[in-house]
Amino acid sequence: MSTTALGDGAAGFPGLEAAMDAAWPAPERQGLGPWVLRAAEGVTQRANSVWPQSAGAGEAELSGLLREARTWYRSRRLPLIFQVTATAEAAELNSFLDAQGFTTQSETLIMTRGPWDHARVAKPRPAVELASAPSAEWLALWWAVDGRGGEDALAIARTILEGCPAVYALARDSEGRPAAVGRLALPGTGPEARGGLYSMATSPEARRRGHGTAVLDALLTAGAERGLSGYWLLVTAANQGAQALYANAGFRESGRYVYRQERPKRQLTGC
């Protein structure tokens, strides 16, 4: 079976999907032919989805892989979800999932840019605190804005975050309260290393005051100081406000992906 890496160069730069996977690592993962099965007790879609790492499987092989993947996720009481990047190589898999009745949801833009020139930040920004690990305040704000679940789910999310080296940024408002946070994942090393921006969140009470922009600038500058050759970030297609913020920082759309979820089987009731 020949295989072609999905999105290899089609979404910004070669190896981007592997970098995205490393930046948000599922605590549990298993290879299944051209697929990678990922699980994190249901915390975040990415960490609980199949990554079709390569293409080339025919319908018969896809059917066998699907059966094994279904069993693996059912044993963990998780739905079967695929994360599929919009590439020509993914067309066969998408057609197969269509025929199996999988839904399409959570369309997400992949935005990328090259090196950051921190000298371009001319006007003053709110002060931003940087750290190599998420503080309790950082976690509390991020989870309050983007989290799904209680303390147990947050503990799993923290495991995901700390599974990849990163820089964590926190901006405070004029009263000293946490106003905005962000994370720069650093999955690679060397002259071609790139960083991924994740967990960008601003408190509802602190929006439109420059805190999110300050966090973004601080993380890009931190990357520049580490010699990063470029950056990527992920933003939902519906979030046009965030897209505008990132476009102002030089990010451009390089690709898209969606989640394909198996429809739950209806349980028969009555006589």
Contact between 200 and 213 under an 8 Å Cβ cutoff? The reply is: no
Which strands, in side-by-side order, build the sheet including 103-113?
Answer: 28-32, 35-39, 50-52, 81-85, 252-261, 103-113, 230-236, 194-202, 178-185, 166-172, 128-131
Same domain for 91 and 17 = yes
Question: Is 151 a member of any domain?
Answer: yes
pLDDT in tens, 32-82: 999 999 999 999 999 999 999 886 678 889 999 999 999 999 999 999 999
Which residue range forms the structural domain that includes residue 127?
Answer: 115-228
- The amino acid present at 114, given as its one-letter code, is G
Same domain for 205 and 163 = yes
Q: What is the pTM of this model?
A: 0.89
Residue with tokens 């090393």: 189
Question: Is 236 a member of any domain?
Answer: no
pLDDT band at 265 (very low <50, low <70, confident <90, very high): low
Same domain for 142 and 122 = yes
Same domain for 85 and 17 = yes
Question: Is 34 a member of any domain?
Answer: yes
Whole-angstrom distance, CA of residue 93 vs CA of residue 30: 19
The answer, yes or no, to whether residue 268 has pLDDT greater than 80, is: no
Same domain for 169 and 89 = no
pLDDT in tens, 199-236: 999 999 988 889 999 999 999 999 999 999 999 999 99
Q: How many domains does the chain have?
A: 2
Question: Is 245 a member of any domain?
Answer: no
